[in-house]
Structure 1
Amino acid sequence: MKKYNYLLLILISLFSSKVFAQQTDSTYQVRGFIIAAPRPNGLADFIKFINEELAPRKVNTLVLRVDFDYQYKSHPELRDSVALSKSDVKKIVEACKKNNITIIPQINLLGHQSWASKTTKLLEKYPEFDETPWVKMPAAADYKWPNADGLYCKSYCPLHPGVHKIVFDIVDEVMEVFEAKAFHAGMDEVFYLGDDKCPRCGGRDKAVLFANEVQTIRDHLAEQGRELWIWGDRLIDGRATGIGMWAASYNNTYRAIDMIPRDVVICDWQYDQDNQTAVYFALKGFRVVTCTWNRPQVALNQVEDLYRARALSSRELKYRFYGIAETIWSPPAQFLTGYYANTPGSPVSDNTPWNTFRVMFDKMGKLDQAAAAK
């Protein structure tokens, strides 16, 4: 059965590539939008946005950061206090089906198991999975970065024998309820990994640890004919590129890029400047989705880069430039408030996510029209 499912994933990938190759050079696979899942009381507004804003812009991929904001049946202890029900999720699924939008749910795996002074549900309920249990969470008023513990976000230990059973239970459940064929595992900004004090992974090569965790998650999904997406920052050498420790790696995980399967899709976020790292990932053999946030001019540059790269690259390389997505890092309700309070036509210097969203998709529409007119 496992071999059959691996073969199925390969066939799906080959078929998708063939269909994609038949499209014109002005198009690309992913026109994406990445945001946290809405709260139940914001569901109607979120669906309105899908219908009235995403669909007209031909957005075809919605990555939803679900994490613990779903009423899991497999592990109800991991539900946040306010979480989407199955019927809530189905309303989002139906809206996306109607508009030909593919949903990719995200649960942060490995890193981002805490935020500021709050431990998220996995380590709250299963503290034995903590990579650095001796690092204590500060009081809310006391959290500062940088700090003596190097605490940004906690990680789970990828070598703990019990972690994947729990994690894969909720991954499988969220994939089923969203009727999804691809899963986003996060895996960005992992600062705690292979800690010297960890009894399981202390002293091990951090690149190997990271690559093995990618492989483990990818293999679990592949058994069911599903695809893995991750953020790309840990696969970039932060020192050699000068990109730094946030949008790239200082703890040597970047060497994992040569150890992970090439069917993993890389979401390459470079928000503050156009570092053209999508070229790096494509040359390494990965499909790459360029991700923007709140810098309209950077987003415009990245849209032009995408079109240029596809126009100039070889046939094999061209289709690895998989698309582009706008990412939102505020709660959906906050983003929608800003979006609807600010009318179109803001200057490019207006560095907000809603202005970036408008500017980016407007530019893509104009380039599409120009290509169609040729």
Structure 2
Amino acid sequence: MYIKKILWAVAIIGLVLAAIFGYYIYNAMLSPNTAFNNDEAYIYVPTNANYEDVRSQLEPLLDDIEAFDALAKQKEYTTNLKAGRFIIKKGMNNNDIINSIRINNVPLKIAFNNQESLAKLAGRIGFQIEADSLSLINAMTDEAFLKKSGFTKATALGMYIPNSYEFFWNTSAESFRDRMLKEYNRFWNETRNAKAKAIGLSRDQVMALASIVHEESKQASEQPRIAGVYMNRLRIGMPLQADPTLKFAAYQLPEYKNTVIKRVLNKHKDIESPYNTYMNAGLPPGLIAMPDISAINAVLNFEKHNYLYFAANAKKLGFHKFAKTLSQHNVNAREYQQYLSSQGINR
């Protein structure tokens, strides 16, 4: 009888311990453990991060960080971290969270356009992925890479076709650059290459002219007409005389640092620069900014006409008036100059 009581007591204690252990396992593995109100949250695990780096991000997101610690240690996550951007959904339990941040690296969409230089592009991308702007600009301007890929520092901006792309957050600077080269080569498909050859321009020349067209007008509807004006000038050996190239040349000078040129003046036409298309015939050596795809396509599909001139339209801002003769152009240009003066825009 006494032995039976002992056995019953042992059995009861065993059941209690099993229940406690089961409750612990349930809490550690299966009980919801999120403390945020949104449907989901993200954590960013840097390359070579340690568990404390991850834990500091998780702590404000979880109800019970100690329970998570215990299971993370048991599942060897604390010594086997993966870099990336990971999602945690509201109501997840610890087991689900560990599985998600171990294997579910979620890509993000990166978009860019209208970047004036590689440095500004690097700054924009550096806010969106793990690679910082310094490592990005170093990768983008690496001389060995540029030479191998057929670019120079003047043409390198043309490799980055403005669009939206999917990347993993932990993409390195070199991986970002290499992916952009693949996208560039994909963009320059057989059709675009054939069109460039048909109009007598190389890829780099198309991109350089597209950058001017885009700076002249953001209106996709009139970009082919503007491109046609410049193609006409190139055809007859007339200087492009593109005001945006004067601004670009000026911005390279110390006296124009941190300034905005709202009105191109005669003094700008005297700037010594290969980008001064008043002084130098033909296309400049590289891009003056990043053109939109619409401007690139506008050059490849330029409008065929007899216009040689255009001036901003004072009565329809953002658009232009086109002219076949210098006398008519002078009338249009004078009208716009008078508008600028009326607005107090003198420089």
Q: What is the TM-score normalised by the length of structure 2?
A: 0.23
Larger relative helix fraction: 2
The structure number with the bigger radius of gyration is 2
Larger relative strand fraction: 1
More contact order relative to length (CA 8 Å, sep ≥ 6): 1
Q: What is the TM-score normalised by the length of structure 1?
A: 0.22
